[in-house]
Structure formats: structure tokens, C-alpha cells
Amino acid sequence: MLAEFRRVSFAYPATGRPKRPFTLSELSFGIERGEIVGVIGPNSAGKTTLTRLLTRVIEPAGGEIFLDGAPLRGIERRQLARCVAVVPQGAPAQFPFTVGELVLMGRYPHGPGRYFESPRDRDVACEAMAATGVLELAELPLDDLSGGERQRAIIAKALAQEPRLLVLDEPTAHLDLRYQAEVAALMRRLNHERGMTILLVSHDLNLAAEVCDRLLLLAGGRAAAMGAPEAVLEQSLLASVFGCEVIVDKSEAGRPVVRLAWRVPSSDDARLSRGR
């Protein structure tokens, strides 16, 4: 088991962050080596909280997280950054660096004492940029790139960390269809060619169904279901978790495809029309 959550609980403090009331309560799940695991669920189900816990931006209130069998709280930050790399939700606004400079930032945990990166750091960064197809953009400012190119540059930065677990938080949000397909293909390729273990956090059920080996469905900070996409993406379960009617079909690859029935439950319907 590469990473494991054992009965992990977390709550944002009631004061200070009043708009983030969601919590995780006694969540247990694991990620095996070489797997692509998807975390799905409604807004504020605790998806991003999970990635923040995994990178020790926040510490669990209860339970324990393990990385390679060792408790996470005993792992030093830089060492953790060499094991777990995060592609965060949304890129930084107003980022004045070039793509090459950004990707080299991923080398920081491998030698924070160095003023400039070593030749090996440069090689790893070039290789990471080649892997995501942004090598020829290396000299350009990140702000000049299209949305899809930016996302691939940020994924290259994460790869430059040479992580064993790659965490992608909403990697296709705000991206056109083509870039969504690109990101999905890239994830599959990294997984097949490098055996990269990937944790995908996404509200896009179909992306998750298409690329993931297993899915964790979060609802209200608890695991509503965990298992193969076919088992988790089940019509009545989704309807109860998301509070709306869905239709589940099969894709060409035999994966579940979730469609919205564009109907809200009748009680809500009544409430909406009364509001009007």
C-alpha cells in the first residue's frame, strides 16, 4: 500500500473559516502502487481537504495517514515533497516565471540548499517537460500559454519532483473538451509507461470513470462507496449522493458514463416553482 488513510477525521475550525464547514469523519481508504484512484463527490464533500491532508498542509484531528507504511506526521516536508506531488486546482494568478523556471521549481525538494539547480535537476526537468509536451515552450512565460498548455506545464513541474504519488486536483476544470481528452491521455500514459500512481480528485464523473482503476465516492466527509467504477457509479447511489436523477450508460471501452437526467427531485421541483 503506497498511501493509506486510517479512520482519518478533520474539521476546519468553526471560527476563522466559517464558509468551509465540511469535515472528514473516520475516512479509511488506501492507494496501491501503480493504481489510478479517483476521488469523486459533490461540492464540499471533502475532496480537496483530502489532498491537503495528504501533503500535510493541514493535520488530521483524528486517525492516521500512512505513506509506505510510515506515519505521515513523522515525514519531513521536503521528503514528503519528493514522494507526493500535487497539481493544484487552478493555476496561480499572475505568475511571472517561464515554463522552464516553473518546472525547475519542482526540483526544490531535491536540493533546497542549492542556489542554482544542478545539471541533473535540469535533465529531470527537461525530461518532465518532454513527457507532457511542453519542452518547446520552456522559454515562454507561463502567462502566455493557453489553458491546456498551462495545465501540462504544471503537471511537468509535479513530474520534476519525481514523485511516487501524483495528485491531480480538478485537472480538467475550465478546460475545453480537447484539453480534457489530452489530460486523460496523459494520465494513462504516465501510469502505463512509468507505473506512476495517480490520485485524481475530480467532480467530472466521466473522466474519473474513464481513467481510474478504483473510485472513492465521498459524501459529507464519509466514504459513500469505494471500488471499481462500475460498482461505484451506480444510478440509485449517485442519485442519493448528488440529490438528482442520473442515467448511467456504458462507454465504448465498457466504462460507465453518467448523464444528468436534467430533472431535480419532485419535492425540490415544487420548492423551485413556489419560489417563482
Rule CB under 8 A: which residues touch other proteins? 52, 55-57, 77-82, 84-86, 88, 92-98, 101, 105-106, 108-109, 112, 114-116, 161
End-to-end CA distance of the chain: 53
Pick 145 or 224: Cβ nearer other proteins: 145
CB of 131 to other proteins, least distance (A): 19
Rounded Cα distance, 221 and 46, in Å? 5
Pick 31 or 225: Cβ nearer other proteins: 31
CB of 12 to other proteins, least distance (A): 14
Rounded Cα distance, 184 and 212, in Å? 10
CB of 54 to other proteins, least distance (A): 9
Torsion of CA 204, 67, 85, 203, to 10 degrees: 10
Instruction: Output b/e per residue, 40-66; b: 16+ Cβ within 10 A.
Output: bbbebbbbbbbbbbbbbeeebeebebb
DSSP conformational letter for 161: T
CB of 182 to other proteins, least distance (A): 22
Pick 168 or 209: Cβ nearer other proteins: 168
CB of 163 to other proteins, least distance (A): 10
Pick 57 or 261: Cβ nearer other proteins: 57
Pick 123 or 269: Cβ nearer other proteins: 123
Q: What are phi and psi of 200, to 5 degrees?
A: -105, 120
